[in-house]
Amino acid sequence: MEGIVTFTIATNKICADQITRLNAEVLTLGLKTTLPQTECGDMPLPAGTYGAVIQIGDQMAQLKHYYRSLVALMRKLKIKGKYLVNLSAGPTYVCGEL
């Protein structure tokens, strides 16, 4: 069984260069800007939102991996801002600000 985890970063106070670098780096983590759909094809996510399909049996370990990787990436790119993590299989919400 699968679930979806999404990470949304408030990009309204981030410069275009940082958004471009963030988009490139996020893809290396395995997060995507579109999520697969069963009936309607792929679903594009709004700007600043990244997602992944995760296995329900291992959801917390996968959530921690993506969360820690994304926060480390934001620190590396010196991005300060708010973020929201949503785990559809939980539901679990995590909010924070760097």
pLDDT of 21 > 70? The answer is yes
Please state the length of the chain: 98
- The pLDDT confidence band at residue 38, using thresholds 50, 70 and 90, is low
Q: Read off the pLDDT of residues 40-74 as tens digits, 9 standing for 90 and up.
A: 778 888 888 888 888 777 777 888 888 888 889 88
Task: List the chain domain ranges.
Answer: 2-97
CATH architecture of the domain with residue range 2-97: 2-Layer Sandwich (3.30)
CA-nearest of 23, 10, 33, 5 to 73 is: 23
- The pLDDT confidence band at residue 7, using thresholds 50, 70 and 90, is confident
- The pLDDT confidence band at residue 96, using thresholds 50, 70 and 90, is low
